[in-house]
Amino acid sequence: MNNKCTNCMPELLAHKNCCTLCIKLKILVLTLIFIFLPGLLLAKNVTLPITIDYPLLRSIVMSQLFNNPEKEVELLNDPKECKKIVISDPDFSEENSLLRFEIKVRIKAGADFMNDCYLPVQWEGYVVFFQTPVIEAENWILSFKTRDSIVLNNKHEPGVIAGALWKLIKGNVHTYVDAIQIDLTPCVNDMKFFLSGIFPEKIQPQAETMIGSMKPGNIEIQNKAVQIGIHTDVSSVYDNARTLKEEHLNDVELAGFIRAWEAMDAFIVYVIGSLTDRPLNEDEKDIILEILLDTRYRFIAELTRPVHENDFVRNQFIIAWDNLSVLFKNHIGKNLAVSPLGSLAFFSSMDALKVLDSIGPSIGIEISNNGLIRLARLIADKTTPDLFYSLKIDENLRQIMGLGPKLKESSELIPDEQKDYKEDFLNNIIKNLISFLKRTNIFINPYSEAMAAEQKKTDIIHLEKWLPSQSNIFEYLKNIRQILKNASEKTVSKNKRDQEYQDLFYLIVDAVAWQESCFRQFKRNRGEIEYLRSYNNTSVGVMQINERVWRGIYDQEKLRWNIHYNIEAGCEIVDLYLTRYIFRKMEKKKYKFLENKDNIARTLYALYNGGPGEFSKFLERSSEEKFYLSDDLFYEKYLWVKNNQLENASICLVGK
């Protein structure tokens, strides 16, 4: 025997042609590997989850089976009412890795004889089924196989039931429960429709291939939900060449970047609006407030950068949803006005987006207005929602964020807008400004004096009094500070705070107005009166209210042209951060740094200038004594106000 054949399988060693067969076998194996290995290497399977939490599962069952006014089902009711079975109040949970399905049962049973019911017996209690969910791959039908069952009395205690009654339960309740099915096809189809909308047009064929590969996987019974895995092959849309990168955008690309973010912001506001009638507690309102403001502040910060991440909008969307998802599941999932299967499709689509996003930029997904409209339809009862990036006041948003009714109208006149004014005017300003900065490489100090906005007609006579000059500087300051005081008193009166708080509030408001605009709402430029804008064209007026951050909360035209309205809005924002953010955090945790009221003022300005996310960042800066220039400049103004050194305002007002 040839020694070279000793590595062959034992069965072949006895064969006289061992070497020949061994070589042929090896060639065959290598050939199969060569044919199939590339496909195996290219296949990238992910599991997209359909997570049905138990309250939502109950809602689905209720909507399909208990949809009458009584919310119950009559399983048996003979004409003589001698035998009657009614079930109601389904409830789901997990127990010993099985689905625990509890249902309330009312039974009446007697002997039917000669058209009479003799010896009627009534029983009321609960039947508990321990089940295993099963899904059919061909039609996405979810059913439940009963493994065991027990009977509980009306007090949820283990009960004993007569044989005749148990026979009725077994023959009717068990049969009915075992036949329960949930058709997930509409949910899966809605998911597929949404997923097709998050891929760019150029890779739609590959996206359809990926979507076509979706099939049911394992079912996991979790502590709070039943989770169905959807096996999905993403190799058709996977491209290693796509990477996370920062790019210089031209004007067209920048406009598209802004539109994508505006679509996301409009979607978040729309979904928040779906909670209008829900009983939100104060902590939930604070979560919504913080996430919305931080999302908007991060966008403003991104706009000031010379380059932008190609996945910035998608990343922001995922972060915002991560923080909001539990709150929305608690409320939208219980909202009877929303279809339970629509809610399931909504949450499952969001979870699928999160899974695909975790793969990284190689997967090629993006956030678009079309995709977000598809998603919003799932909780809009299939109607097409309006995701327009509106600049009007959204009173529902104010209510949900705990701000109450919109600010009252002021008697101050507002000049007529130009006839061709469009709501995307701000976009054009930002686009042109950033484009100019990129072309010239000019750096503008972010703490420099606010710049004037677009020109208005010169016949705005009533605005002349709000233009400071060397001859009226002290009278001007007196009038401005009186408006600030009136607005401050109006704001603090709503909260009924003590005098110590009021005094601190007045100091902060004056210091903010000084730091933000040097007490100015308007400025004359080449004979024209203009409202004041920030260096990046996002904030306006005395209190420099950021129009994007506070979109839907305040009237933008009044912020620009009504000094009373602008100051009242600024006071409301100061109060919001002080009472609902800083003070509430101080109630939950002791901060030694904030025991000093001056430090409270400094912390508040960091939030006023950069959003709720600045709270922890400012405390970190303070611990390291590494303050931003804006931190120091505000503190300077705050001490001047505190020490009544208002004459220093002349430096920024008139240059001396």
pLDDT tens column, 143-165? 999 999 999 998 998 877 777 78
Q: What six digits make up the tokens of 390?
A: 């509106």
pLDDT digits (tens, 9 = 90+) for 221-255: 999 999 999 999 999 998 877 666 677 878 888 88
With contact defined as beta carbons under 8 Å apart, do 598 and 638 qualify?
yes
Q: What residues contact residue 609 under an 8 Å CB cut-off, 6+ apart?
A: 630, 634
Q: What are the DSSP calls for 334-395, one per residue?
A: T-TTS-HHHHHHHHHHHHHHHHHHHH-GGG-----HHHHHHHHHTTTTT---------S--H
Picking from 591, 636, 628, 625, the residue whose alpha carbon sits closest to that of residue 610 is 628
What pLDDT is recorded for position 441? 42
Answer whether CATH 1.10.10 is correct for domain 448-654. no
Rank 298-307, 446-455, 545-554 by mean pLDDT and report only the highest. 545-554
pLDDT the model gives residue 423: 44
Q: Which helix (H) or strand (E) holds 634?
A: helix 629-642
Q: Are 399 and 561 in contact (CB under 8 A)?
A: no
Location of each CATH 1.10.530 domain in the chain = 448-654
Structure tokens at 112: 């039917």
Determine which of 230-234, 373-377, 510-514 has the lowest per-residue pLDDT on average: 373-377
Residues of the chain with CATH 3.15.10: 51-184
CB 130 within 8 A of CB 168: no
pLDDT of residue 413: 53
Question: Which pLDDT tens digit goes with each residue over 25-53?
Answer: 555 545 444 444 444 334 588 999 999 99
Give the integer Cα–Cα distance in Å for 296 and 635: 25
Count the alpha carbons within 13 Å of 370 in the hemisphere toward its beta carbon: 10
Q: What is the distance in angstroms between the CA of the first residue and the CA of the last residue of the chain?
A: 109
Q: Which two tokens stand for residue 367?
A: 């956030």
Q: Is residue 601 pLDDT above 90, yes or no?
A: yes
pLDDT reading at 142 higher than 50: yes
Question: 22-44 as b/e, with b when 16 or more CB fall inside 10 Å?
Answer: beeeeeeeeeeeeeeeeeeeeeb
Please name the amino acid found at residue 12. Answer: L
- Tell me, which fold does domain 51-184 have in CATH? Bactericidal permeability-increasing protein; domain 1 (3.15.10)
Token output for 194: 């949404």
* Token pair belonging to 633: 């400049």
Give the span between the Cα atoms of 505 and 579, in whole angstroms: 10
